[in-house]
Amino acid sequence: MSLRPDNADIRLLDKGKASGCLSKERIDRVHRNMTTLDRAKEILQNDVRKNSKWIALLGHSLPQHKSFSAYRLLSLSRISLEDISKHVKDVGHLLETPQLANRLKIDAEYSLYLEKQEACMAEINREAALIIPDDLDLFSLEGLSNECREILEQAKPGNLAAASRLPGMTPSALFVLLGAIKTSKFTKIVQSTIRIVASTLE
């Protein structure tokens, strides 16, 4: 999600500098944009107010939370930087540069997905040693692409860590796999418990 066309100039800056294909003016402009965006994000992230306060200021209904940062608000599709700039100092100047204002909005929108992805990867790393059952039916797993199914079928990784190292495996596919392993493990525990209880009743 961080590999997007709108932030290519920042992502590829170091490679461009190393190859010598960027002029000093272009490099300086990218650095200025980075500084401007980072400063605006910092201001918005540090401006945290109660939900009721934002509703009164913006006149919009908001998700049920006790409080929001201005940056979190910007991630909502119906809230614009122009809306927020009326109540948060030192960010309104970005509206004079639509490209930067649009990038800040996009960064805010993607930030939620990136946070979720990072949380998923953290859980996957914690559970890396989980064994993938031999009888796990990969073709019954919803949310797993055919490409990832084929990768897993061919490689037959022994655990989640091995699966995460396979070329082509995505974070979302690994999270689906993690859920399936846990479900399979729980099902087997339940089945084993039922058998034990049943045997005591015979």
CATH number of the CATH domain containing 164? 1.10.150.570
Are residues 159 and 77 part of one domain?
no
Residue 194 pLDDT exceeds 60: no
Are residues 87 and 63 part of one domain?
yes
Are residues 119 and 44 part of one domain?
yes
Span of 8-17, 64-73, 114-123 with lowest mean pLDDT: 8-17
Residue 67's CB is within 10 A of a number of other CB atoms, namely 12
**What's residue 9's pLDDT?**
65
Residue 140 pLDDT exceeds 90: no
pLDDT tens figures, 67-97: 989 999 999 988 999 999 999 999 999 999 9
The larger pLDDT score, comparing residue 31 to residue 10, is at 31
Are residues 188 and 115 part of one domain?
no
CA distance 176 to 178: 5
Are residues 171 and 86 part of one domain?
no
Are residues 108 and 47 part of one domain?
yes
Contact 108, 78 (CB under 8 A): no
Are residues 109 and 13 part of one domain?
yes
The answer to whether residue 133 sits within a structural domain is: no
Tell me the residue range of the domain where 180 lies: 138-201
**What's residue 195's pLDDT?**
58
Number of structural domains (the chain) is 2
Are residues 191 and 108 part of one domain?
no
Residue after which a domain boundary falls, among 71, 98, 126:
126
Contact 173, 145 (CB under 8 A): yes
> Residue 22: which residues within 8 A CB-CB, separation 6 or more?
13, 16
Please report which confidence band the pLDDT of residue 13 belongs to, taking 50, 70 and 90 as the band edges: low
The answer to whether residue 131 sits within a structural domain is: no
Are residues 70 and 166 part of one domain?
no
